[in-house]
Amino acid sequence: MTAKPWTSGPRELLDHASSHLKSETAFDCRIAMISIDNAVELAIRTYLGLPKRVRGTDGPPRRALEQAIGFPDLLDLLETHGGDKLSGIELGDIEWYHRLRNALYHDGNGVTVDPEKIDAYNQIAHVLFQNLFEASVTPEAEPPATTLLGEFVLKWAMLETRLQNLAETHLRKRAPIARSAISVYDGLIAKEVAPTRVRRKLEELARVRNSVIHRATVLPVEELKRLIGDVDEILAALPKEG
């Protein structure tokens, strides 16, 4: 499938970030973080500015988009007009990483970021690109994860997306994107669609995910491997879509 021309800018920035992320030097990590954040901002602005025939839904008024100068303004517009494009995405995560990027950009060499954190943001950016433009950045079915934390973030996004899709099918009302994975899962349990045996694991996963993304929590390799395995177990326990 030929890539749509409006996706080239964010795609090139994410490719550029991935090439630097592989090196893991302090300089390369800084460049990767800045490139990912620039790609996220450009992807959001591009998507919101697409014609309705392309996007398929109403977007923000042109004047509102022109006045959205700051990154938080764009996130507000995306929250309003993103709809199911936000499945598997938490805008609070993106805003947190954007602030981290600003610290890198404005504070000079005094601020560094762990490569795992950058890879986690990279996975979020790839999922966002996939959702907004219905295309992968890379030819592979999934964006490349270079760290276990990145893989964990990607798997969690897959799980959230699966839960939202199941909610649309099995719950009486379409689940708002803002609903947490736990509340959606509880609704699926009530409908006897999801098993109760992995519910406690899902609760732990949600707590740990927020901890490693928004705080300086560092998990041992074996712990991250266990968590990834728990996500896989929950995914396997859920019914197939369709």
Pair 122, 153 in one domain: no
Pair 154, 115 in one domain: no
Pair 225, 125 in one domain: no
Residue 129's nearest CA partner among 52, 39, 65, 17 is 39
Pair 70, 123 in one domain: yes
The pLDDT, as a whole number, for residue 141 is 44
Global pTM exceeds 0.75: yes
Distances 40 to 54, 71, 91 between C-alpha atoms, Å? 19, 10, 11
Domain limits for position 120: 1-142
Mean pLDDT by 10 residues, the chain (242 residues): 83 90 83 93 93 86 86 93 88 91 68 81 93 79 66 89 88 59 91 93 89 73 92 92 60
Give the span between the Cα atoms of 37 and 208, in whole angstroms.
23
Pair 137, 216 in one domain: no
Pair 12, 124 in one domain: yes
Pair 138, 27 in one domain: yes
Query: Contact at 8 Å (CB) between 162 and 76?
Result: no
Residue 153's nearest CA partner among 114, 113, 193, 125 is 125
DSSP code for 177: T
Query: Contact at 8 Å (CB) between 74 and 55?
Result: no
The pLDDT, as a whole number, for residue 145 is 62
Pair 224, 125 in one domain: no
Residue 143's nearest CA partner among 30, 39, 29 is 39
Last residue of a domain, one of 142, 157, 174: 142
Residue 193's nearest CA partner among 177, 207, 216, 175 is 175
By the 10 Å C-beta count (0-12 exposed, 13-18 middle, 19+ buried), 11 is classed as: buried
Pair 130, 192 in one domain: no
Pair 194, 99 in one domain: no
The pLDDT, as a whole number, for residue 46 is 93
In total, how many domains does the chain have?
A: 2
Number of H helices, E strands in the chain: 11, 0
